[in-house]
A and B are shown apart, each in its own frame.
Chain A
Amino acid sequence: MLKVDGIDVFYGNIHALKGVSIEVLEGEIVTLIGANGAGKSTLLKTLSGLLKPKNGSIQYENKSIAGKAAQTIVKTGISHVPEGRRVFANMTVEENLELGAYVRKDKQIQKDIQKVYETFPRLHERRKQLSGTLSGGEQQMLAMGRAIMAKPKLLLLDEPSMGLAPIMVKTIFEIIEDINKNGTTILLVEQNAHMALSVAKRGYVIETGRVVLTGSAKDLQASEEIKSAYLGG
């Protein structure tokens, strides 16, 4: 479904991604794990079009999307839930969800908003509230609901567990699995490697802009290197 081949991405003079190649197959949950500043978020931003790669190719459903504008890429079915949720704090929950469907022109939008409310009942309670007043977990739900409103085939999730209470992390990961079961492929960036590997099928480990290790989630969980570096012994 998605094939990234040898991309280089720069932030000014900083070489943030060095020849990164990954692949995501349809229906999978694939996770990228790695320390802060390793380049995980940079990779997601490049996939969604916020950054442009200098070299290399990005093939999505056999078409090149490398260097295309973000608004074009959303229309092809890739939605990105950015790090730190980035909800529109000055707008209500419902307006945020409507904006999620910005690229759609069909008549099902209101129906799909109700579906999001079924998935996240908490958002329904707060639908008229300004989203800036929500708790971190609720904002994460809103950011995910907003992304689903675009009806993505591939969902990019950047650190969904960041700053959340353990109980909320558990809820969010259950929902991630549900979304995947309903047919959406997921590429998940996480620092919480333990949670990420427990839901993912495969994983990539990124260090200082390079993919250093890849394998099935089970193998990565068992690997001594991963245990010592990311799983706390």
Chain B
Amino acid sequence: MIFDYETLKLIWWLLLGVLLVGFGVTGGFDLGVGAMLRIIGRTDDDRKVMINCIGPTWDGNQVWLILGAGAVFAAWPLVYANAFSVLYPAMLAALFALFFRPTGFEYRAKIADARWRAFWDWGLVVGGAVPAVVFGVAFGLVLEGIPFHYDENMRIIMDGNVLDALTPFALFSGVVSLVMLGMHGSAFLNMKARGSVQMQARRWLGMLSITLIVLFALGGVWVANGVEGYVLQPGGNLNHALTPLNQHVSRAAGAWMHNFDNMHWMWLAPALGFAGALLAGLLRSAPRLALLASGLSVSGVILTAGFAAFPFMLPSSSVPSQSLSIWNASASEHSLALMLIAACIFIPLILLYTTWVYRVLRGPVRSEDVNKQEYGTY
């Protein structure tokens, strides 16, 4: 392999960023559309249009999430084991909510009964909103830390109830995520739908983009002043820190700003978050550009959280010295190298055929189209 172990870890951290951004930008608007189904969709017809906007592609989009989780499992087994088990109730809430999506999209149209459809409508709302909130909370917890430590055989011990870890900041992050994906979903509908759905979506796009700007700024102030960040104390070769057992970590309010102070280019991420949201709101009568801007905003927000936490992936609030970082929680060099080769082959292919599918499915969705009773209408 032409890369050394340390570089491989860094590359995988970037790749994880790509997968999360991939999910945020594509699966993100699906979650947003789901969450907004009963708000933007006033009538059954409206909701049919909304579902048909995302029906044929949501499944592929969700694989970014599945692949993201799979990549964490394979590239950072410690993070995967830790995050999923310590955040057990939150993960299961997201999982149970996600059950409503494949079933909701597929089954809702199958029976023309108002109560049946209302049930799946709400199912899709839950399936969109709950995961959006949970993923936001998870990002908030990455910045705040969660209570765990390792025993001498690397078994994770939970220190206290995770529900205690649901701090105001974590919940706030959940709200930011919901607003952000609501905005992105509206931007997508604004581009894809016509008629009353497009009109409503455009209105919400304006409101949610402003809300996101305010909340994101508030979050920034909170992180700079309130949230106690983590600082990895220098010492030794990072490659030798193969486990989270031999490091020193300190905590200080505002420590998450250090990366931005040291590496100015990182400011691009929050700048993108703000500028994207602003443009998405301003350009809402140019739907394609607005969607692009909204996608950039989503990417910017996700990257901001990742950059702030670097190199931490999952800090421990109870025993900070055992926090997980990209250096001490990764898979072996051999596995990382192998999967990098696989990723280099398959991710471009995925992008290629996904683009083709979107091209085939291009064009607006109108209420006349979804009432033609054609094969495959959702």
A and B: partners? Answer: no
